[in-house]
Amino acid sequence: MAVAKNKISNTTPNAAEPRRDDRWRETHLGRLLGHAMRKFDERVLHLMAHDEGVPLALANLAARNQISAAHIHITRHLALGGSRLTELSQAAGMSKQAMGDLVDQCEAWGLVKRGADPLDARAKKLVFTQDGLAWLDAFKVAVAQAEIEFKESVGQDVATVVALGLEAYAQA
């Protein structure tokens, strides 16, 4: 009787046979990009937690890891003139419900506030508060510092190639 092949590994389910090499799952480009982005965001949040320009309550939240990379989506994507929730969730590549949960937290923390949308009385527009704008300024400084550290870590030439390659890939 023939032994059925395992469709995933393409090997027979026999313990005596060697396992396939699956190290590629840890080292493929997407995985490396994900690790790099998490490391970069963690560094940015660390720098913001220690920035004197960040409102104390927000710095404490960042220092206690209460503000995550997910919250950074709002910092990255909320337009200075304000955005509707649907626009913000689309820009961040998140569901409206997930973004709504983040906005609720950020509103409770004083980063953003909801207001009337002058173009549609039925809609709400999200805008940065004064503390949110201070957070945004600290985010800009922290991102610049993290980029400097990245360049120091891999060298200017590699950093330039990485930036150009990622830009080309994202726009393709």
Instruction: Tell me what the mean pLDDT of segment 162-166 comes to.
Output: 95
Task: List pLDDT tens digits, range 98-111.
Answer: 999 999 999 999 99
Give the per-residue pLDDT at 14: 63
Q: Where are the domains of the chain?
A: 48-171
Q: Extract the tokens encoding 171.
A: 């726009």
Q: What is the pLDDT of residue 64?
A: 87
Q: Percentage of the chain with pLDDT > 90?
A: 60
Report the topology of domain 48-171. Arc Repressor Mutant, subunit A (1.10.10)
Contacts of 135 (CB under 8 A, 6+ apart): 48, 54, 55, 58, 75, 111, 128
One DSSP character per residue, 37-79 reads HHHHHHHHHHHHHT-TTS-HHHHHHHHTT-S-HHHHHHHHHS-
In percent, the amount of the chain with pLDDT more than 70 equals 90
Work out the number of other CB atoms within 10 angstroms of the CB of residue 73.
20
The predicted pLDDT at position 12 comes to 52
Mean pLDDT of 7-12: 50
Tokens of 110: 């004083």
Closest among 86, 95, 92, 96 to 117, alpha carbons compared? 86
Residue pair 62/54 in contact (Cβ under 8 Å)? The answer is yes
The pTM assigned to this predicted structure is: 0.79
What DSSP state is assigned to residue 2?
Answer: P
Band of residue 153 on the pLDDT scale cut at 50, 70, 90: very high
Residue-wise pLDDT tens digits, 21-75? 888 888 889 999 999 999 999 999 999 999 988 888 888 888 888 888 788 888 8
